[in-house]
């Protein structure tokens, strides 16, 4: 994979899976799921002193909500992303 100066990328075909721990693993994950949480409602977390919509670490994700209704509203875009 290569990035052009105009924001485009060249194509690269993967003929097998990416090994766990491989540097490309986290890059590809971030590339493909970077927009999955766009537009989620934020929840104030007192211990952090700020509002956040989710927590992402490596390939783990946590969606945060105070009640079931905002949680469902946050999960709806994820569902649409998974099942377009």
What are residue 55's DSSP bridge partners?
62
DSSP strand E in the chain: where? 43-45, 50-52, 54-57, 60-63
Q: Is residue 78 part of a domain?
A: yes
Does this model's pTM top 0.85? My answer is no
Residues in the chain: 84
Domain that holds residue 53: 23-82
Number of domains in the chain: 1
**pLDDT classification of 1: cutoffs 50, 70, 90:** very low
Torsional class of 42: left (φ above 0), alpha (ψ -120 to 50), beta (otherwise): beta
Q: Is residue 5 part of a domain?
A: no
- Using a 10 angstrom Cβ sphere, with 0-12 exposed, 13-18 middle and 19 or more buried, the burial of residue 18 is middle
Q: Convert the pLDDT of each residue in 16-72 to its tens digit.
A: 777 777 877 777 777 777 777 777 778 888 888 998 888 877 677 888 888 899 889
């Amino acid at each position: 994979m290569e990035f052009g100066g105009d924001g485009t990328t060249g194509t690269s075909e993967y003929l097998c899976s990416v090994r766990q721990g491989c540097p490309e693993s986290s890059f590809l994950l971030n590339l493909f799921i970077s927009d999955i949480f766009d537009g989620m409602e934020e929840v104030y977390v007192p211990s952090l002193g700020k509002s956040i919509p989710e927590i992402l670490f490596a390939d783990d994700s946590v969606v945060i909500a105070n009640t079931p209704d905002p949680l469902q509203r946050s999960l709806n875009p994820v569902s649409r992303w998974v099942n377009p």
